[in-house]
Amino acid sequence: MRALRAVVVDDEPLARARLTRLLGSEPGVEVVGEYGDGESAAAGIRALAPDLAFLDVRMPGLDGFGVLAQLPAEARPLVVFVTAYSGHAVEAFDARALDYLVKPVAPDRLQQSVQRARQQLRPAVAEEPRYPERLAVPDGGRVRIVAVSELECVRAQGNYLELRVGGQELLLRETLANLEARLDPRLFVRIHRSHLVRLDLIEQLETCGTGQYVVRMRSGLRVTSGRSYRAALRRALGLPVAAEADEPAGPVRAP
């Protein structure tokens, strides 16, 4: 994890030095700039593009709010206002400050501000789609719980799907498109408008006409693929999507 880059802006040298020292004791924080006035602070922030700025509110000339006003929105770091006066809190949060610290800054409050900054700057991690590990399949007056890991092949049969599981066939009232959307595409591939198979159970492909294959599963089950699904099947298996004329005749063993 890279260090949090911070600048300290305060017209009082002792206050600026103390805050810099406290930040220096925080792990993973690097103070990249110190400024004693608003004009130099605005210029320094534009040049350094820090993650976080600790801004004194009251300074001669350009105050802390004036510094922010000189920065375009895209160049503004996260801001913690630091002041000896509590009366600016509303204005500070109107300026979308991350935090508001009153001097003398307590080390534990500074730690809280740093932690808030880390949380805001942490990249958002997209959640992995969640796919079911089991399917509930009505079976007469009972409900069979089928492990998706044991599902070898699915065939559309009118208004039903025929699930092949452990050499048995079970019927499920659902469309193939709906079930396909529920299953992990890294594990299952559509090879025909009516057929869906589990990738890691494919043993061999055999050409059987223009753009079609007989897909042989490890169990010995043989399923014919559709021509329009040829490229998707080869891509899912990590095979080159070659031109049909260049494709060798005979069986192709799945990787």
The CATH number of whichever domain residue 20 belongs to comes to: 3.40.50.2300
Q: Work out the number of other CB atoms within 10 angstroms of the CB of residue 208.
A: 13
116 plus 152 within the same structural domain: no
**126 within domain boundaries:** no
Domain count, the chain: 2
Q: What is the DSSP string of 38-50?
A: HHHHHHHHHHH--
Q: What does the block give as tokens for 106? A: 């307590």
**What are the residues facing 81 on neighbouring strands?**
55, 100
151 plus 104 within the same structural domain: no
Separation in Å, CA 189 to CA 84, 152, 172, 181, 252: 65, 11, 19, 11, 17
Q: How confident is the model at residue 42, as a pLDDT?
A: 94
Q: How confident is the model at residue 245, as a pLDDT?
A: 47
CA R_g for the chain:
32
Contact 170, 162 (CB under 8 A): yes
Which one of 121, 150, 185 terminates a domain? 121
Which one of 81, 99, 121 terminates a domain? 121
Q: How confident is the model at residue 241, as a pLDDT?
A: 73
Q: How confident is the model at residue 210, as a pLDDT?
A: 75
184 plus 224 within the same structural domain: yes
Distance of CA 102 to the CA centre of its chain: 37
Spatial separation of the C-alpha atoms in residues 24 and 18, rounded to whole Å: 10
Give the list of residues 6+ apart from residue 124 with CB closer than 8 angstroms, or none: none
35 plus 103 within the same structural domain: yes
Place of tokens 């040829």: 230
63 plus 161 within the same structural domain: no
144 plus 106 within the same structural domain: no
State pTM to two decimals: 0.52
182 plus 227 within the same structural domain: yes
Q: How confident is the model at residue 129, as a pLDDT?
A: 75
Contact 62, 39 (CB under 8 A): yes
Q: What does the block give as tokens for 229? A: 């699904």
pLDDT in tens, the chain (255 residues): 678 999 999 999 999 999 999 999 999 999 999 999 999 999 999 999 999 999 999 998 899 999 999 998 888 999 999 988 777 666 777 778 889 999 999 999 999 999 999 999 887 555 667 888 999 998 888 888 999 999 999 999 988 999 999 889 999 999 999 999 999 999 999 999 999 999 999 999 998 877 789 999 999 999 999 999 988 998 999 888 765 545 655 566 665
Helix 107-121, helix 13-24: angle, nearest 10: 60
Give the list of residues 6+ apart from residue 173 with CB closer than 8 angstroms, or none: 138, 159, 160, 161
Find the domain containing 102 and state its range.
Answer: 4-121
Q: How confident is the model at residue 105, as a pLDDT?
A: 93
**187 within domain boundaries:** yes
